[in-house]
Amino acid sequence: MKYNQASYKQSHNSYDRDEDSHQSLLFHPNDPGNAGCRGLEYDIWRHSDSSNGRSLGYFTVAHSTSSGPPFANYLGYLLSWHLADVNHDVVFVTVDIKSSGGSKESFPDEIDNYMREWFNAGLMYTPGMLSPDNSDFVAYVKANGWPEVDTLRGKFIFCLSGNSDWKTYYAQTNPLARLCFADKDFDDGKSVTVPTTGQQIIFSSNLYSDNFETWKKSITNLRAANLIARGYVLNSDGIWDKAKQAKLNAFATDKITGHSWAHVGSTPFVQL
């Protein structure tokens, strides 16, 4: 199964959950609704200084305030998960950009410098690894799809979300050298325009049951182009079931444990 053909559970606002990162990622075969996430999410804020992204507190994590622990703390949890099992399933990490002030032009190098300083860039599956010779990632995945899930073992896929200007600028600036992917927002109440060219190959939306028929068609169209669709705030069994019917890729939820319906199947990745 290729990665774009898989569905999987993600933790929404992972820093704000009762479960820590390791607990969220641990899969229980006899109780698949108990955690088993293959994706996490962190909201980041920028604090500019002369380090160009390398200082510990350059990026912090919080939902609605710029004060919070360093992003590096959470990256450390991911490294410890990796060290415990270097052959782990691929983990999708959404990095939601909350900052809006200051220059977007410096952001691409800053976030990449931070990842090199406080993570291990060698563990990241990057856009240039997907398509080494072609920066038109949309055209590439349409023709070839993503790698198989098993070939991504031991890797982390980081995807920038949030601030549209910053993530789009990041995706379009020296794209083959970047460490992270960048998603593109789509409105769950409007038919999505499937791109034929570009660098953003992951699409995200806050999904609502009332708009199901519309976003179901959008997801079908995205999937036909081998683009990945992520829906978030899937916090009830009703909308979770609708997302299954729509054959969504990434199910982001606040309901990590204690909800038997919150799983995609009997394994962490299920083929669509």
CA distance 118 to 199: 25
- Please state, in angstroms and as integers, the Cα–Cα distance from residue 258 to each residue in 18, 176, 181, 235, following that order: 11, 41, 32, 12
pLDDT at 261: 98
pTM of the predicted model as reported, rounded to 2 decimal places: 0.97
Give me the mean pLDDT over the 53-68 stretch. 96
162 phi-psi bin (left φ>0, alpha ψ -120 to 50, beta other): left
Predicted local confidence at residue 88, as pLDDT:
98
Alpha helix segments (H runs only) across the chain: 21-25, 71-84, 107-118, 127-130, 137-144, 164-172, 212-224, 237-246
Q: What is the pLDDT of residues 4-52, one digit of tens each?
A: 999 999 999 999 999 999 999 999 999 999 999 999 999 999 999 999 9
Compute how many other C-beta atoms are within 10 angstroms of the C-beta atom of residue 225: 18
Tens of pLDDT, residue by residue over 196-238, are: 999 999 999 999 999 999 999 999 999 999 999 999 999 999 9
Cα distances from 46 to residues 61, 103, 124, 150, in angstroms, run 9, 11, 21, 34
